[in-house]
Chains A and B, each alone.
Chain A
């Protein structure tokens, strides 16, 4: 059962990923991106990372992409016009892409052991309890520093926004 589910959602993620680039309408691209994030969430879930899966849906699919779509709708972007593209890209694009994919998958295959569960350093397991414990004990400093960074980014955005208004 599990390989089937993995295959379905992996294929769905890849197809949606390709659609993000090939679709000509910005809203269609954004919706394909939501498809990618949703299927990634399912794959996280299969790895046992329940909390990350839910957070993926809430934060990325639920909030960030809503903002994207909001902005696209506000600006009322239309269909984008396709150019012919350069000749070199058309000739070398596919082989180079294949080479890149090959290298990436080889490196992943060699570098990472076939783990069934989430692993990060000495941390394993993906339940909300395990994750919370790790975040607030082992990884307390990185976690707090990241949150301060995010706060700085928010304050910066507000300051920039006020400047625009003046």
Chain B
């Protein structure tokens, strides 16, 4: 097939899936945090609040777009566009799966494979700070400016340990291409235990995985490092003055960044699309089993409803989940669906961790945040890099 046509189709599919997941990750976040706090969360719009994100989008689209007096108009409008663009670019090098062929066309489940893929992602993430900084500065207001200053200091501080953690993975992988990094993790120790970079010899990257996770929490301005938008001190931080779609732009950029960094963590440390254990021990049947299990739970609660309105919605959910489980058993589509399942499962678990941490930990104080980055995280990352280098050189 025509190269350009294929590229456009792939880009459209990835963009569509990304946008829908951007919408729904907020619903998941609100639901999970609600359940952590023993509430129900959004429940009114659609069954179990499933249409809530669409209602929110319509609300944000139709709100009045205020332009406060005294702002630097050009940069004020540019900032949200910059934030959302830069947060969406990185997804183009993430590999979601191996080479697949359908209808006589074979292609990789990845938009493009750069041979400097890892550095490309780091470069783009080093630019994301401009959206925040410009927004804070051009708003011509005190709280946004303080938020932007905090954000730039924090992002520069945490970029170093992030880069060091990634570098020690590169020592094991010997490549900067993300596809090659995933392919390098495809072996199994003793025919069973996965050789993901997290567990891979000669020096398992457990510490750099933890350092990476902490650093990306700070890079994406998430709790407990969300000082740039600390609502108890700075109103809403850098986007205080923004309304309507421009505010939504920052909101989307934050979640898109979250998705990108979890995809990166999956690719670098958790073996990307590779299964947890080899196919000959039946890992191909796990997706169907998982969906069937949750379908059964939904059906059980549908027949013993706690609320009257759940009587039909939960039964429908159960049947849909069973249908998905049945699809996973069709051999013809397994080659496409299984890698996607593993990739999305790993990414989803990491995203749930982000939400879980938000529901659990209080916010750091600003000096604690900076001291932690420079006097603990960075030295730890350097030591980890040195030990990894030594282990790779000796073995």
> Which residues from chain A sit less than 8 Å from chain B, CB to CB?
27, 31, 34, 50-51, 54-55, 57-58, 61-63, 66-67, 69-70, 73-74, 127-128
Contacts and interface: CB of A to CB of B under 8 A. Distances in A.
Contacts of A67: 156
Given A73-B133, A128-B115, 18 more contacts: A31-B134, A51-B116, A54-B119, A57-B124, A57-B126, A58-B119, A58-B126, A61-B127, A62-B127, A62-B159, A63-B126, A66-B126, A66-B133, A66-B152, A66-B155, A69-B137, A70-B149, A73-B148
Max chain B Cβ within 10 angstroms of own Cβ: one of A34, A51, A57, A74: A57
Contacts of A58: 119, 122-123, 126
A62 B162 CA distance: 14
A54 B72 CA distance: 30
B120 interface: yes
A73 B151 CA distance: 13
Max chain B Cβ within 10 angstroms of own Cβ: one of A54, A61, A74, A127: A54
B116 A128 contact: yes
B116 A66 contact: no
Contacts of B124: 57
B153 interface: yes
Interface string B349-365: 00000000000000000
A70 B145 CA distance: 10
Nearest to A50: B116
A162 B80 CA distance: 38
B270 interface: no
Contacts of B120: 54
Nearest to A70: B152
Interface residues of B, number: 27
A58 B124 CA distance: 8
B75 interface: yes
Given A34-B130, A73-B133, A73-B145, A128 B119 contact: yes
B223 interface: no
7 contacts: A54-B116, A58-B119, A61-B127, A62-B127, A69-B152, A73-B133, A128-B176
Top-3 shortest CB links A-B: A62-B126, A57-B123, A54-B119
Given A57-B127, A58-B126, A63-B126, A69 B133 contact: yes
B127 A74 contact: no
A63 B116 contact: no
B129 interface: yes
A54 B153 contact: no
A41 to B, nearest CB: 8
A44 B95 CA distance: 25
A73 B150 CA distance: 12
Contacts of B126: 57-58, 61-63, 66
Contacts of B145: 73
Nearest to B127: A62
Contacts of B114: 50
Contacts of B119: 51, 54-55, 58, 128
A66 B124 CA distance: 14
A63 B137 contact: no
Contacts of A128: 115-116, 119, 176
Interface in B93-143: 114-116, 119-120, 122-124, 126-127, 129-130, 133-134, 136-137
Contacts of A63: 126, 156, 159
A61 B124 CA distance: 10
Given A54-B120, A63-B126, A66-B133, A74 B149 contact: yes
Contacts of B153: 70
A27 B136 CA distance: 12
A34 B75 CA distance: 14
B93 to A, nearest CB: 12
Nearest to B125: A62
